[in-house]
Structure 1
Amino acid sequence: MDTTSFFVYCLISTFTPGPTNILILSTVTNAGTKKAMIFSYGSTIGFGLLLVCSAALSSVLLSVMPKFITVLQVIGSAYMVYLAYRMVRSRHSESDVNQKATFRFGVLLQFLNPKTVLFALTVIPAFILPTYRGFTGLSVGIAAITLIGFAAFFTWVLFGTVFKTFLQKHHTAANLIMALFLAYAAVMIWV
């Protein structure tokens, strides 16, 4: 496994703005840290469960269809390039997300968030399964990815206000840098 590409893919996918991170940022600024942490705990549990489902689904599909990894690599790479393009083309706008950020919604959102679902469906077969097929290897991989996800959620809680100010001030440059890293991760899936 190419550890560098794995970590770049995980870090960019979990730390860049998406529905979960934007809702965390909004919750920190509107309802406070405690409420945002409760939502983050639920998001972490949901993220871990989604990874477990992905590992189980990927393992079953790989035994039935070995070309499944290639399909997921193509879809995942195309989606990452699309996200990179969207980041570069996006315009700054004030988000007025005003939903209740509960533990339950944090869990549910991970299964409804296309960014998270596609990430879970690509990271396991692209990085973990080619090297580790046993229960222990899968468990360690899922635990590592879940911890990276929690670190991303916690970072958005902890520095929510700072990130919001920074991203508003340097929106174009920040998006370009994130887009370049995401494009790099998309290419590295094939190397």
Structure 2
Amino acid sequence: MNITSFLLYCCIVTFTPGPTNIVILSTVHNFGTKKAIEYSYGATIAFGLLLGISAVLNTVLIAVIPKILIVMQIIGTFYMLYLAYQIYKMDVSESAEIRTATFISGFLMQFVNPKVVLFTMTVIPSFVMPYYTTPPALAVFATLITIIGFCAFVTWVLFGAMFKEFLQKYQKTVNVIMALFLVYSAIMASGVVELIKR
């Protein structure tokens, strides 16, 4: 398992601006740090739950249809390349509208956030399951990814406006670097490197 590309992928997807992170940023500005932390707790629990669902679903699918792992790796690779493109052309200057800033809204947001749903459904089969398939190993990786996600949410809370200003000032440079890291992660997850080595 290429732990570097795995960690890069997890950090890039969770730390870069997306619906949840932008709402957290808006919550800090409009309602303060306490409300943003409450929202983040809800988002983190839902994030971990989605990872658990992914691990269970993919374990069942692999047991029933062993070749599904290759299909999920391909889907995961294309999704990472799509994310790289989206990050490359992203505009973080628009602030997200916020109606509520509660634990429940943070929790529910994850289930309607396509970035999170696709990430949680592809990260485990793309990076973890080719090497680890036992329930304890999958639980460890799901927990690790959840912790990374929580750290990302807290980062957006702590840095608030300062983080947003930095991204706006160096937006293109940051986006290009993040996009390149994602392309690297996609190549490593695809299994192409292992095929070339054979």
Q: Quickly name the TM-score band, shorter chain normalised.
A: over 0.9
Q: TM-score, normalised by structure 2?
A: 0.90
Q: What residue is the counterpart of 1:163 in the other structure? A: 163
Q: Deviations over 1:47-94 (max 9, x none)?
A: 010011101100011111122222222222212212222222234532
> Where does the alignment leave 5 or more consecutive residues of structure 1 unmatched?
none
Alpha-carbon spacing, 1:65–1:85, altered in 2? closer, same or farther (3 Å): same
Deviation larger for 88-97 or 17-26: 88-97
Q: What residue is the counterpart of 1:25 in the other structure? A: 25
- Matches of residues 21-170 of structure 1 in structure 2 within 5 Å? 21-91=21-91, 93-170=93-170
Following superposition, the deviation at residue 186 of structure 1 comes to: 1.1
Following superposition, the deviation at residue 136 of structure 1 comes to: 1.4
C-alpha separation in 2, matches of 1:160 and 1:76? 31
**Displaced runs of 4 or more, over 3 A:** 90-93
Q: Secondary structure at the match of 2:94?
A: coil
Deviation larger for 93-102 or 111-120: 93-102
Identity %: 58
Q: Deviations over 1:26-48 (max 9, x none)?
A: 11111111000000000010001
C-alpha separation in 2, matches of 1:50 and 1:96? 23
Following superposition, the deviation at residue 13 of structure 1 comes to: 1.2
> Where does the alignment leave 5 or more consecutive residues of structure 2 unmatched?
194-198
C-alpha separation in 1, matches of 2:157 and 2:92? 21
> What is the count of residue pairs matched by the alignment?
191
Q: TM-score, normalised by structure 1?
A: 0.94
C-alpha separation in 2, matches of 1:11 and 1:92? 18
Deviation larger for 99-108 or 84-93: 84-93
RMSD: 1.4
